[in-house]
Structure 1
Amino acid sequence: MREAAVKPDRPGQLRLLVVFDALLREGSVAKAAAGLGLQSPAVSRMLAQLRDMYGDPLFTRTARGLIPTPFAEGLRLRLRALAAETEQLVAASSGEPAAAGPAAGDGWAHRPLISAPPLSVRPSVLLQGQPTPDDFARKLAGIGHNAEPQKRLAKYIATSGSGAGRCRPLALEEAEDALGIILAGEADPVQVGALLATMQYRGVTAAEMAGSIKALRRHVGAYDVRDGLADLDWPAYVSPKLKSPPWFLHAARLVAMAGYRVLLHGHYGQGPDAGKLELAAETAGIPVCASLGEARAALAAGAIAYLPIGGASTQIQRLFGLYSLLEMRLPLNAAVPLLNPLGAAASLLGVSMPSRRDLLRDAAVLLGVRDLSILGGNRDFAEFTPFRATTLFRLVGGEPADTRIAARRSVSAAPPPTAYTSREYWQAVWTGAARDDVAEAIVVDTAAAALLTMPACPLDTFEAARKQAAALWRGRADLPRAGKPVLRA
């Protein structure tokens, strides 16, 4: 006779969810236990049960208390709504308790002459008719994943930016859905600015960044690393305020001439110099591609290509145009450098802010990126600053590993000849018609950082990579533009 199926303990599970809500609110086992009238060991046991039930740690213990995981954060509002409804259902429905009869004390009971009226206060917490946090939580929990796009996006905006006590960061899946709605053109324009500006003001989390990157990659139809189409992804999102020549393009040329497939993708603002990177690439003989398909063909034929972001997605390019309306960078600007359209095995990024470097590396870990280097000093494009000490913030085989590089001995920078324009001088340094020790050091060290980043490259120290890059620079006139790898074992 077949045994009867074990029925789930619904009352017990409901109790676990109430405890889960208390832990999210209090951030402490002891405080949650006190609020529920339980002992701390009992709450600890129920937390263990919750972890088993969801297959997630739910909380990380820190000096500041219990920090929820992204999965737990994603359940916060739904649990608050459930707990609030449960409390209302079990609360006594009667009004004021019945008056007590005559006291049987020592005979001194007597009504005072003047009874104190209720304390006069201003309603500083809630206006009349204003929804409570519990009402707010129930309303958001009622908007499911099948709701229409604008309704879902409204939920994410309210979740992320409704003020103290009512908001939380978006989970990875929520951030992916939110940006996906915007990229698909299904959002109201007001919603676009509201969500991105709110996230930027509050500060983006690694989970939000990773979700945004997933949405970007899905939107452009990015390839997977397993497709083996590129060796190095090199984002170049250059501020139009930067007027120096793009020396990093010469470094990318060296890496490609060594036989590695390099995809550059980027943007140069909306001003009169918006086509600067396209012009520089054309001058250097780097194919400028109008689509991912063209970039893939260019890498197969010549080992290097430049893909303007508009070639990958005109919608992303339009979103970049919000800068002129808001005069502030948005989370999209920080996420796009990890787009990796052709699924390169490694990426070389430039990030100036220390906090943003950690954020991008943490997001890369969440996305399963294995090999990555982040250079400080420039915003959103990788170009070495050789005359000051530099740290390469890396992922090597998926594990964080930093490489400290000492400053080179300073050399005097000679002013470029007046007969050259900036672009002509930039090209003359490459051809050897002009000599510039500072520019040469920038190019060589940038190429060294790129070589060190790629798992396909056999070099394992920066000094070895610098020597190889210097040899490539000296022999650049004799190297093929692409072809058989020079450095591969």
Structure 2
Amino acid sequence: MAKANREDGAGKLDRPNQLRLLVVFDALLREGSVGKAAAGLGLQSSAVSRMLGQLRDMYGDPLFVRTAKGLVPTPLAEGLRLRLRALAAETEQLILAPLAMPVSGAPAVADGWTRSPLIAAPPLAVRRSALLQGEPPPEAFARKLARIGHNAEPQKRLAKYIATAGNGIGRSRPLTVEEAEDALTIVLAGEADPVQAGALLAILQYRGASAAEMAGFVKALRRHVGVYAPSDGLADLDWPAYLSPRLRSPPWFLHAARLVAQAGYRVILHGHYGHGPDAGKLELAAETARIPVCASLSEAKLALANRSIAYLPIGAASPQIQSLFGLYSILEMRLPVNAVVRLLNPLGAPASLLGVTLSSQRDIMRDTAMLLGVRDMSILGGNRDFAEATPFRATELYRLVGGEPLDTRIAARRNIAAVTPPVAYTSREYWNAVWTGAARDDAAVAVIVDTAAAALLTMPACPLQSFDAARAAAATLWSDRRMAKA
């Protein structure tokens, strides 16, 4: 009967609409939310809800169950996930392929950001995968966990941590700081089985990593990279910039970092922009802004001493960390490493400026920083996972001041109209023209000034006591900025 109903429902839909429904189905599986799926597809939430109803009629199955964590797929929907993802990916490629082809032998028109990265990510280092046939069953392996000590070989220790964190309700617990540190150290050293690396990170992402687990991960990252200590006095502000490759807006925050550096503070930026065709976007932007792009920590140290600002691609600090980011294309989700790397602080600055989108993650990030002994930090709330202000909406600034939590609410700015960039400019050209004064954009300047204000307020070396005072100081820095020379 269900099959008959499903065929009747499908028969009432034309083929183009069926394909559209499948694309929406894929978006719902990826996002786990009607609102997020609608935003990603450029549709209204009501339209996506209506199409979800059509999908349920077509398949004769609820497809999703609403929970506190969002939409949870039914077994039928989960079984279709990989086929739908393949269909959606192929559809996107077919649509985008003509756009990427040059017309009449001329290069395709782009936004001006395309460039290869300074350092290409090598394959993720792992040990040879164990043969799955003939391995002991999970129950027998679990009984051995209690006998695995800290001196056991890396693969066995990592297996113990995976079972400890992901053995199911009532049989698992979060890892301690020390356990999490050892687990990620094994992965970073290339001693993990590839299945183990994916299992560990996916389990913590699905369950939600605790502050202790994240702190352990940060410690492993710092030891792996060989970061400098705050006592070395090399930097004043750490500014992580790990952007989604889907982001198409210009990196206005780099202009803000320039203002802070021109005020006499040493700013170290470190980051990543995915593995796609625009992977070198941040390097290109930094070069355009005359920010030194460094291939090692020692180069960054020298650049800070001479220029007060530097950008360090994460691949220059650690190819293995950069390669871990590449797991996104395999697992279709961000992993805890993507979050904790923002607390890497490679040059040991006494203060850090971060951006975190989800409110729950802001609290975890701040708790993690406190476990690590961070005393001064600001987290810009908003809709970005990097530190760039959103001045046209009220924003929370989640801070640590002298090791104590302190929140500051930033009121939304009013009566500043957005400007449509002239078609004669590429995105990169317009971004640079705003800095040089060749283009005027009050909305972009508001983003730059408010971002610089958050940075100034974060540093203990800066005497400013309120965001309004910091905003006024940043506005003065913008007015007095050194013009870029041709």
Same fold (TM over 0.5): yes
Tell me the alpha carbon deviations over residues 120-149 of structure 1, each in whole angstroms, 9 at most, x when there is no partner: xxxxxxxxx9998xx887632210000000
Counterpart Cα distance in 2 of 1:280 and 1:479:
14
CA-CA distance at 1:231 after TM superposition = 0.2
CA-CA distance at 1:376 after TM superposition = 1.3
CA-CA distance at 1:477 after TM superposition = 2.5
For the aligned residues, what is the CA RMSD? Answer: 1.7
Does the 8 Å contact 1:257/1:479 carry over to 2?
no
Give the structure 2 partner of residue 395 of structure 1. 400
Q: Aligned partner of 1:147: which letter? A: A
Q: Aligned partner of 1:258: which letter? A: A
Counterpart Cα distance in 1 of 2:386 and 2:219:
20
Matches within 5 A, 1:62-81: none
Matches within 5 A, 1:184-203: 184-203=189-208
CA-CA distance at 1:412 after TM superposition = 1.5
Counterpart Cα distance in 2 of 1:378 and 1:277:
19
Give the structure 1 partner of residue 481 of structure 2. 476
Tell me the alpha carbon deviations over residues 383-432 of structure 1, each in whole angstroms, 9 at most, x when there is no partner: 00001111100000000000111111132112111111100000000000
CA-CA distance at 1:479 after TM superposition = 10
2:241 counterpart SS class: strand
User: Which structure would you say has the larger Rg?
Assistant: 1
Counterpart Cα distance in 2 of 1:242 and 1:365:
30
Tell me the alpha carbon deviations over residues 104-124 of structure 1, each in whole angstroms, 9 at most, x when there is no partner: xxxxxxxxxxxxxxxxxxxxx
Give the structure 2 partner of residue 296 of structure 1. 301
CA-CA distance at 1:218 after TM superposition = 0.4
Give the structure 1 partner of residue 330 of structure 2. 325
Counterpart Cα distance in 1 of 2:138 and 2:176:
24
Matches within 5 A, 1:106-145: 139-145=144-150
Counterpart Cα distance in 2 of 1:138 and 1:312:
39
Moved over 2 A (4+): 129-132, 135-139, 477-480
1:271 counterpart SS class: coil
Aligned counterpart in structure 2 of residue 278 of structure 1, from 277, 280, 283: 283
Does the 8 Å contact 1:387/1:410 carry over to 2?
no
Tell me the alpha carbon deviations over residues 182-221 of structure 1, each in whole angstroms, 9 at most, x when there is no partner: 0011101111001000111111000000000000000000
Matches within 5 A, 1:53-92: none
Tell me the alpha carbon deviations over residues 257-283 of structure 1, each in whole angstroms, 9 at most, x when there is no partner: 000000000000010000000000000
Report the CA distance shift for 1:448/1:138 in structure 2 as closer, same or farther (over 3 A). same
Matches within 5 A, 1:371-410: 371-410=376-415
Counterpart Cα distance in 1 of 2:262 and 2:322:
30
Aligned counterpart in structure 1 of residue 224 of structure 2, from 219, 231, 236: 219
Counterpart Cα distance in 2 of 1:189 and 1:136:
18
Aligned counterpart in structure 1 of residue 185 of structure 2, from 180, 186, 192: 180
Give the structure 2 partner of residue 163 of structure 1. 168
Query: Does residue 1:235 correspond to 2:240, yes or no?
Result: yes
Give the structure 1 partner of residue 466 of structure 2. 461
1:412 counterpart SS class: coil
Does the 8 Å contact 1:251/1:443 carry over to 2?
yes
| Unaligned residue ranges in structure 2 (runs of 5+) | 1-135
CA-CA distance at 1:379 after TM superposition = 3.5
Tell me the alpha carbon deviations over residues 209-264 of structure 1, each in whole angstroms, 9 at most, x when there is no partner: 00000000000001111111100000000001110000000000000000000000
> Given the two structures, how large is their TM-score scaled by the length of structure 1?
0.70
Give the structure 2 partner of residue 369 of structure 1. 374
Report the CA distance shift for 1:167/1:417 in structure 2 as closer, same or farther (over 3 A). same
Give the structure 2 partner of residue 98 of structure 1. none
CA-CA distance at 1:181 after TM superposition = 0.4
Counterpart Cα distance in 2 of 1:472 and 1:428:
17
Counterpart Cα distance in 1 of 2:138 and 2:314:
43
> Given the two structures, how large is their TM-score scaled by the length of structure 2?
0.70
CA-CA distance at 1:455 after TM superposition = 0.2
Query: Does residue 1:444 correspond to 2:449, yes or no?
Result: yes
Give the structure 2 partner of residue 342 of structure 1. 347
Q: Aligned partner of 2:346: which letter? A: P
Counterpart Cα distance in 1 of 2:442 and 2:196:
50
Give the structure 2 partner of residue 244 of structure 1. 249
Does the 8 Å contact 1:212/1:332 carry over to 2?
yes
Counterpart Cα distance in 2 of 1:159 and 1:462:
44
Aligned counterpart in structure 2 of residue 253 of structure 1, from 246, 254, 258: 258
CA-CA distance at 1:164 after TM superposition = 1.8
Count of aligned pairs: 350
Counterpart Cα distance in 1 of 2:399 and 2:152:
40
Does the 8 Å contact 2:436/2:483 carry over to 1?
no
1:365 counterpart SS class: helix
2:310 counterpart SS class: strand
Q: Aligned partner of 2:400: which letter? A: L
Give the structure 2 partner of residue 418 of structure 1. 423
CA-CA distance at 1:461 after TM superposition = 0.5
Counterpart Cα distance in 2 of 1:478 and 1:199:
47
CA-CA distance at 1:152 after TM superposition = 0.3
Q: Aligned partner of 1:347: which letter? A: S
Query: Does residue 1:431 correspond to 2:436, yes or no?
Result: yes
Moved more, 464-473 or 162-171: 162-171
Counterpart Cα distance in 1 of 2:138 and 2:381:
46
Give the structure 2 partner of residue 48 of structure 1. none
Report the CA distance shift for 1:130/1:435 in structure 2 as closer, same or farther (over 3 A). closer
CA-CA distance at 1:287 after TM superposition = 0.3
Identity of aligned residues (%): 77
Give the structure 1 partner of residue 316 of structure 2. 311
Counterpart Cα distance in 2 of 1:138 and 1:394:
45
Give the structure 1 partner of residue 152 of structure 2. 147
Counterpart Cα distance in 2 of 1:415 and 1:212:
43
1:391 counterpart SS class: strand
Does the 8 Å contact 2:418/2:443 carry over to 1?
yes
Counterpart Cα distance in 2 of 1:218 and 1:131:
32
